[in-house]
Amino acid sequence: MKGLWWKLLATLLLLYTAIIGLRTPLGPAIVQTSVSRIAPGPLELDVWGYGTHFNSDQPRAWLVNDSQRVCASNITAIAGDHMKVFFDVPAGLRKQMTDLQVFNGTDGLVTRYAAFYTDSLGGGIAEHPCVGGKSLELAYTFPNRDILNESIRNLFFHVPMWFTMVTLMAIGVWKSIRALRTNSLDEDRAAASAVGTGLVFGVLGLISGSLWARVTWETWWTTDPKLNGAAAGVLIYLAYLVLRGSVPEPAKRARLSAIYSIFAFAFMLLFFFVLPRLNDSLHPGNGGNPAFNTYDLDNRLRSVFYPACLGWILLGIWMYQLRDRLARVQTRHSDANDQ
Amino acid sequence: MDRREIAALLALEWRLDRRQKHAWGSLALYVVSTVYTCHLGVKRLSSVATWNALFWIILLFAAFNALARSFQREDGGRQLYLHTLAHPRNVVLARTLYNAVTLVLLSLISLATYVLFIGDRALAEADMGLFIATMLLGAIGLACTLTLIAAIAARAGSGPGLMAILGFPIVLPLLLATLRASKLALDGVAWSTVSNYLLAIGALDVLAVSLSAILFPYLWRD
């Protein structure tokens, strides 16, 4: 059973990705507040959380504006994810945006940055000596980021699709170069199998991205540079299949499609890696949008993301090999029938 | 690369094209009739974004039309004959150069008729020097990326449709960059902002031409 170990490894990595990536809970976060603008005077605030335990012991809450604190005058927990907080908002806060911080014995410190637009700015307020709290060492959770929330798990499925596609297309280019050098139809068949398998991953990447966009951006598709690049990358290889389909003569087909595949690969790399950097993009990882890079301190996502990438790439190579073997058998079969 | 061979090939192209004046006429007619159709639809355009988009659509399809025929002449025997006379690398370089000149002329004709019919209201704030520079660079870029595609499509021999299918996704990044750059030029934005895009277009051209020069000899090997 030589050569079996990496297939086993791929299976295990993807099982690990599916189980840990989907089962790990998100950390606690405040997802909604009843108002988004505060003015001096009494304030009754409804706070909704996700994965929080507002009804646990030592509940505290305070506003933070330019590191000055306004403590809550009263806190009533309604449920684990819903509480009422009362403030007496003073006049003269210094900054435009005010953060909300809550604390309890189970979740530790939970912050919603820039939660409130602040009216009646001034030169600062009298300090309130309220009791703060530190963030606790929590159980194994993923970060719960604004807007991304549960969809952060798509990182383990959507992003590796593109890595796998690029890997398979690189194999396709390698086989195309070999096909041009050796005039071998075997190499040409391998290149076509690699591109075909890569396209499957490209389409899956588009689908997973589109579903994610529906949830977070409320649209299936936008004209974002990153999305344009992805669509063009897939389109190029669909054109490759059209080219293959339109040349009946095998040797000529091998040569033409190898040339197009090499040319196309260089442009696909441009679409994926250069073009999105020329323009501002809404896509996570661009223009200051939350993504993987902002979690440099969070090794929990990495501990799933890297195995996921390796697992998907190995699965892609495995699928490519199977496809190529099937194509080889089919060619032999039809050759035998011809004779 | 042999400069004398390229010059000879360019002269050959020019002489062959002079014999087929109707080809040039049909290209010019294509541009003029498209612009006129747009004029019938919109009369005068004052929106900069629409003006820009429409102009590039016209130019893109004119370019596809013009380049699709650039390898149509070589069928079977003629290609073999040319192969014995010149190195394929020089052939593709000469063809790219010739196509670039063709598209530069075509884009100037397009701009003139476009301004004549659709109006120059959108050009009120424009930095014309920058816009024309972007347009010419874009036209040269189209020639660089599409010449090899035209050769592949001609070799596949299944009609002009294939050229559009193969070429469109390849020219997309170039198109995005030129559209953005020419929009900025029309808005009268400074050179320094647009120069990023112009550099990107230039880099794309270099990439496309060098890949063409490497790959084309394989295309002509039978």
Query: What are the pLDDT digits (tens) for A200-245?
Result: 999 999 999 998 888 888 888 887 777 888 888 899 999 999 999 9
In the prediction, which pLDDT does A77 show?
87
Query: What are the pLDDT digits (tens) for A161-170?
Result: 999 999 999 9
Task: Tell me the chain A residues in contact with residue B212 when contact means C-beta distances shorter than 8 Å.
Answer: 263
On whether residue A142 sits in a domain, the answer given is no
Number of structural domains (chain A) is 2
On whether residue A168 sits in a domain, the answer given is yes
On whether residue A132 sits in a domain, the answer given is no
Identify the band that residue A288 occupies on the pLDDT scale cut at 50, 70 and 90: very low
A183 and A239 together in one domain: yes
Length of chain A: 339
Nearest-CB residue to B158 (from A246, A263, A270): A246
Contact B94, B11 (CB under 8 A): no
A181 and A290 together in one domain: yes
Q: Percentage of residues in chain A with pLDDT exceeding 90? A: 35
Task: Tell me the chain B residues in contact with residue A199 when contact means C-beta distances shorter than 8 Å.
Answer: none
Query: What are the pLDDT digits (tens) for A87-105?
Result: 888 888 888 888 998 888 8
Task: Tell me the chain B residues in contact with residue A246 when contact means C-beta distances shorter than 8 Å.
Answer: 156, 158, 162
On whether residue A136 sits in a domain, the answer given is no
Q: Do B218 and A259 touch (CB under 8 A)?
A: yes
Q: How far apart are CA A196 and CA A209, in angstroms?
A: 20
Q: Which of A50, A97, A96, A101 is nearest to A75 (CA)?
A: A101
Q: In what order do the strands lie in the sheet with A41-50?
A: A29-33, A41-50, A82-89, A68-79, A60-65, A97-104, A108-118, A37-38
* Domain span at B85: 3-219
On whether residue A8 sits in a domain, the answer given is no
Number of structural domains (chain B) is 1
A161 and A200 together in one domain: yes
In the prediction, which pLDDT does A295 show?
45
Q: Do A275 and B173 touch (CB under 8 A)?
A: yes
Query: What are the pLDDT digits (tens) for A254-267?
Result: 999 999 999 999 98
Q: CA of A199, closest CA in chain B: separation in Å?
A: 15
| Site of tokens 């504006």 | A65
Query: What are the pLDDT digits (tens) for B122-135?
Result: 777 788 888 898 99
Q: Tell me what ipTM this predicted complex has.
A: 0.86
On whether residue A139 sits in a domain, the answer given is no
A213 and A301 together in one domain: yes
On whether residue A2 sits in a domain, the answer given is no
Q: Mutating which of A177, A181, A261, A270 best tests the B interface, going by the most B Cβ atoms within 10 A?
A: A270
Residue of B nearest to A223 (CA): B176
Identify the band that residue A294 occupies on the pLDDT scale cut at 50, 70 and 90: very low
Q: Do B169 and A180 touch (CB under 8 A)?
A: no
- Interface of B to A at Cβ within 8 Å reads 148-149, 152, 155-158, 162, 165-166, 168-170, 172-173, 176-177, 180, 196-197, 200, 204, 207, 211-212, 215, 218-219, 221
Q: Do B173 and A267 touch (CB under 8 A)?
A: yes
The enclosing domain of A60 has a CATH number of 2.60.40
A51 and A175 together in one domain: no
Contact B178, B158 (CB under 8 A): no
Q: How far apart are CA A190 and CA A254, in angstroms?
A: 11
In A68-186, DSSP assigns E strands to 68-79, 82-89, 97-104, 108-118
- Residue A30, by phi and psi: left (phi above 0), alpha (psi -120 to 50) or beta? beta
* Domain span at A196: 149-338
Q: Do A263 and B168 touch (CB under 8 A)?
A: no
On whether residue A303 sits in a domain, the answer given is yes
